[in-house]
Amino acid sequence: MKLAVTTRGRWWPALCGTITVSILASYLLLIASNWIYLGWSDTVYFFSKTRMWERFWLTVWTSTVSTFFSLLIGIPAGYALSRFRFPLRHFVASVIDLPIVVSPAVVGAFLFGITTRFPFDWISEHYGLYIGRNVYGVLLVQFTVTAAFCARLMKASFDMIPVRFESVSRSLGASPLRTFFKVVLPMAKNGIIASMIVVWARAAAEWEGLMLFVGATEGKTDIMPFAIYLDWNSGMMGWVTSMSIVCILMAVSAISAMRIIGGKSNVW
Amino acid sequence: MKSKKIFIFSLIFSSLFLITHAFAGEKRLLFHAGLGQRGALNEVKDVFEKKYPDIKVNFSYKGSGYFIADITRSKQGDLFMPGEEFYLLQAVERGFLTDYNSETDIPAYFVTVIITPKGNPKNIRTIKDFAKPGVRVGLGNPRSCAIGIWHQKTFEKAGIWDKVRSNATMSAKCIPELGNATQHRAIDGTIVWATTAVLYLRDVEIIPIEHKYRGIIRLPVGVLRFARYREEAQQLMDFILSGEGRNIFHRHAYAVNKVIPVDKQGFCLDDTTDKDMRFLVNAAKAVKNKSYPVNEKTVGPLIGEVLRQKNTKRAGD
């Protein structure tokens, strides 16, 4: 009886701990086994190729630009969804959420709809370029997929800030704009940083939409996940494995960077 | 205030960047091409762009099944080269290609070969061996890839389709899946194109198929009806169909003979492709065995491919 009393409930933390450790171990094993498969000399070979780093920078700059535009849309949209009460609010919120819940493949397929309409057909005539067959297509897909995601995360960040601060600021005579920039935004800073990095990672991982809408041009539109798929199709397992490792390192450093900068939201 | 300025500057900067990029326009051909042709077509692009410096080639590589939907929706593109004539005929049917000539517009052919994991554990030598009990066979799904249709055709012709189907342990959605499964010993054998087999020289054994069951698959190219640069597209197509273009395909294990005699179903009738098969088998030996001589006589046009794969343990370029 006594034994039962002293160990009562201990199994639960032990179980949780074991599960966490085994997940961690399996992830590490996954990475390690792939790295062993690649071998040291091949690691050096592939990591020193310019093709790898060209694609790396392509991924980095496209997802940075699309994250920037996503934030331009996401911050006001998230604020509006969080603070304003307007008719059909829930309906509007669910429409904005659409690109999160539908598959990116659907986004890719639907983007064809606008590229054949005004003003995009005019632009493509005038400048002699196909919207969506170059790096702008990549940006467009990334932006479309991440903007909604960004708005949703921003809403969560703004929801965490009590409305009281804004009411005080307004009652002291500050305009809504000033209140937003001087009170709300600084308070939401950590949440915004955290969301920004999640959005960036999401943009860098986008692939399905690209496959449908853009297609790959070597060195121009094949960001890393797409390049991995392409090389898998050509049996280049060396490229596949080494680029996957770079992707993992990229993700790990993005998340660590977020923690160092001090990003915090109710997701992380 | 400072942060506002930075914000505005970055906005201006990024829009300027986008605009200047947009203005840098040359004659850019949009080439819809099947993923499988990537290796050969990238080489074609390099040679062609050197020859005609004012024309640039932009590929849109996708799985062949994606193209009809893409072209139907976007009505964009100059050239079209899917992984099977079937897809091109779909485009012809819908009126996207008007001047397709099935006699002359075939720059290259796929040839079917048997591949098994290194060492050939189940000792597969002919088509009939796939019917032996206990052989794990990889088949393609005929709904999503052309190789699946050819598996069925080949084994039906040999009269062992039911037995092979009961041996099947995977139904692949695309042909590289079969290559990768063989490489990782998940299956004991399958049939793929020679162009797929050549990508896995280090990890698979290649066994040519006897003429009766050796499939020859036509790989066509065409200029789309709504091509923006019709002349330039035609130039590129002519280049692909020329001897120089065909040679590039030959280096990636395509058969490039102008005429390969085939029966009604597309199976080979004579020994036109035998030489290519011999080169392929030798190439597999050359990558596995360091002392095997690599020269024009042993591996023929596959010399570049052999050297590429000898370079690293895991294939890259």
Question: How far does A139 lie from chain B, in Å, by closest CA?
Answer: 11
Q: Is the pLDDT of residue A115 over 80?
A: no
Q: How confident is the model at residue A96, as a pLDDT?
A: 82
Q: How many residues are recorded in chain A? A: 268
Tell me which of A73-82, A104-113, B17-26, B192-201 is least confident: B17-26
pTM flag (> 0.90): no
Residues 181-220 of A with CB under 8 A from B: 181, 211-212, 214-218, 220
Q: Is the pLDDT of residue A18 over 70?
A: yes
3-state secondary structure string across chain B: CHHHHHHHHHHHHHHHHHHHHHHCCCEEEEEEEEHHHHHHHHHHHHHHHHHCCCEEEEEEEECHHHHHHHHHHHCCCCEEECCCHHHHHHHHHCCCCCCCCCCCCCCEEEEEEEEEECCCCCCCCCHHHHHCCCCCEEEECCCCCHHHHHHHHHHHHCCCHHHHHHHEEEEECCHHHHHHHHHCCCCCEEEEEHHHHHHHCCCEEEEECCHHHCEEEEECCEECCCCCCHHHHHHHHHHHHCHHHHHHHHCCCCECCCCCCECCCCEECCCCCHHHHHHHHHHHHHHHCCCCCCCHHHHHHHHHHHHHHHHCCCCCC
Asked if B93 and B180 count as a contact pair (C-beta separation under 8 A), the reply is no
Chain B residues closer than 8 Å to A237 by CB: 180, 183, 314-315
Q: Is the pLDDT of residue A160 over 90?
A: no
Strands B168-172 and B222-223, by their bridges, are: unpaired
Residue A210 bridge partners (DSSP)? none
Q: Would you place residue A90 in the very low, low, confident or very high pLDDT band (cuts 50, 70, 90)?
A: confident
Q: How confident is the model at residue B167, as a pLDDT?
A: 92
Query: Which of A116-120, A186-190, B186-190 reaches the highest mean pLDDT?
Result: B186-190
Chain A residues closer than 8 Å to B69 by CB: 109
Say yes or no: A137 contacts chain B, CB-CB below 8 A. Answer: no
> Which residue in B158, B138, B157, B140 sits closest to B149, CA to CA?
B140
Tokens coding A160: 């965490």
Q: How confident is the model at residue B25, as a pLDDT?
A: 54
Asked if B85 and B220 count as a contact pair (C-beta separation under 8 A), the reply is yes
Strands B222-223 and B204-208, by their bridges, are: unpaired
Q: How confident is the model at residue A108, as a pLDDT?
A: 83
Q: How confident is the model at residue B310, as a pLDDT?
A: 86
Q: How many residues are recorded in chain B? A: 317
Q: Is the pLDDT of residue A3 over 70?
A: no
Say yes or no: B1 contacts chain A, CB-CB below 8 A. Answer: no
Q: Do A238 and B316 touch (CB under 8 A)?
A: yes
Question: Mean pLDDT, to the nearest integer, of A138-163?
Answer: 89
Say yes or no: B39 contacts chain A, CB-CB below 8 A. Answer: yes
DSSP label of A179: H
- CA dist A258 and A252 (Å) reads 10
Instruction: Write the burial class of residue B266 (CB in 10 Å: 0-12 exposed, 13-18 middle, 19+ buried).
Output: middle
CA neighbours closer than 13 Å in the CB half-sphere of residue B262:
19
Contacts of A248 (CB under 8 A, 6+ apart): A31
Q: Nearest-CA residue of chain A relative to B75?
A: A116
Composition of chain A by helix, strand, coil, percent to 5: 80, 0, 20
Q: How confident is the model at residue B5, as a pLDDT?
A: 61
Collapse the DSSP code of A172 into the 3-class scheme (helix H, G, I; strand E, B; otherwise coil) and give the result: coil
> Which residue in A180, A249, A206 sits closest to A66, CA to CA?
A206
Tokens coding B264: 């009604």
Q: Do B70 and A130 touch (CB under 8 A)?
A: no
Question: Mean pLDDT, to the nearest integer, of A235-240?
Answer: 87
Q: How confident is the model at residue B23, as a pLDDT?
A: 47
ipTM of the complex: 0.78
> Which residue in B59, B26, B24 sits closest to B45, CA to CA?
B59
pLDDT (tens digit, 9 = 90+) per residue, A23-68? 999 999 999 998 998 888 889 999 998 889 999 999 999 999 999 9
Considering CB atoms only, which of A38, A112, A215 is closest to B62?
Answer: A215
Contacts of A121 (CB under 8 A, 6+ apart): A115
DSSP label of A48: T
Cis? peptide before B133, omega within 30° of 0: no
Mean pLDDT by 10 residues, chain B (317 residues): 58 54 67 88 93 89 81 86 87 89 89 94 92 92 84 93 92 88 92 92 92 91 90 92 93 89 88 90 90 88 88 78
Tokens coding A71: 């934030």
CA neighbours closer than 13 Å in the CB half-sphere of residue B299:
21
Q: Is the pLDDT of residue A245 over 70?
A: yes
Residue B215 bridge partners (DSSP)? B267
Question: How far does A266 lie from chain B, in Å, by closest CA?
Answer: 26
Q: How confident is the model at residue B10, as a pLDDT?
A: 62
Q: How confident is the model at residue A152, as a pLDDT?
A: 87
Question: How far does B25 lie from chain A, in Å, by closest CA?
Answer: 7
Q: How confident is the model at residue A1, as a pLDDT?
A: 47
Q: How confident is the model at residue B15, as a pLDDT?
A: 59
Q: Which helix or strand (DSSP H or E) is residue A37 part of?
A: helix A11-38
DSSP label of A235: T
Q: Nearest-CA residue of chain A relative to B180?
A: A235
